[in-house]
């Protein structure tokens, strides 16, 4: 089995695409006004409009801006450099400045415009680097 993508459902595709383009430095592929993808070397982040829910069974299948259990994570080379790059645009999106976690990752925690947590991280200890190399 191959994980193809993670999809976020939103009432405002343009706003979410703009946020994730700024965070990743990538340009989203806009397939329709209701669907976009940001392809990274390791995974794809898809962004779909609430209007697409009709194709998946209709109302109640998913709820935009209601996530309280998932964190979208991007591995970066330098968390502090990413923080400096994003500082002019993240404003209230900042949840936690760069912090070294007990498991050996340096982490910058943001919240996207719909409230989903976004973690930019880099392994900084030997153990964390070894653990991620085995994947």
Q: Where residue 26 falls among pLDDT bands split at 50, 70, 90?
A: very high
Q: What's the pLDDT tens digit per position in 75-120?
A: 999 999 999 999 998 888 999 999 999 999 999 999 999 999 999 9
Beta pairing partners, 80:
none
Q: What letter does residue 27 receive in the DSSP assignment?
A: P
pLDDT higher at 33 or 91: 33
pLDDT higher at 29 or 59: 29
Q: Where residue 36 falls among pLDDT bands split at 50, 70, 90?
A: very high
- What is the distance between the alpha carbons of residues 97 and 42, in angstroms, rounded to a whole number? 25
Q: How far is CA 46 from the centre of its chain?
A: 10
Q: Where residue 15 falls among pLDDT bands split at 50, 70, 90?
A: very high
Residue 135 pLDDT: 66
Beta pairing partners, 8:
47
Residue 114 pLDDT: 96
Question: How does the average pLDDT of the chain come out, rounded?
Answer: 94
Q: Which of 107, 134, 110 is nearest to 122 (CA)?
A: 107
3-state secondary structure 96-132: EEEEECCCCEEEEEEECCCCCEEEEEEECCHHHHHHH
pTM of the model: 0.91
Domains in the chain (CATH in brackets) are 1-61 (3.30.720.120), 68-135 (3.10.180.10)
DSSP string, 69-105: S-EEEEE-S-HHHHHHHHHHHHGGGEEEEEEE-TTSE
Q: Contact at 8 Å (CB) between 116 and 8? A: yes
């Amino acid at each position: 089995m191959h994980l193809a993508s993670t999809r976020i459902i939103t009432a405002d595709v343009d706003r979410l695409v703009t946020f994730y383009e700024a965070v990743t430095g990538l340009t989203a592929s806009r397939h329709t006004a209701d669907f976009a993808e940001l392809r990274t070397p390791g995974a794809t982040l898809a962004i779909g409009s609430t209007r697409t829910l009709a194709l998946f069974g209709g109302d109640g299948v998913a709820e935009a801006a209601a996530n309280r259990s998932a964190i979208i994570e991007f591995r970066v080379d330098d968390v502090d450099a990413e923080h400096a790059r994003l500082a002019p645009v993240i404003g209230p999106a900042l949840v936690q400045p760069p912090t070294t976690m007990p498991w050996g990752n340096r982490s910058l925690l943001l919240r996207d415009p719909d409230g989903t947590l976004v973690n930019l991280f880099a392994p900084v200890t030997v153990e964390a680097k070894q653990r991620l190399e085995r994947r």
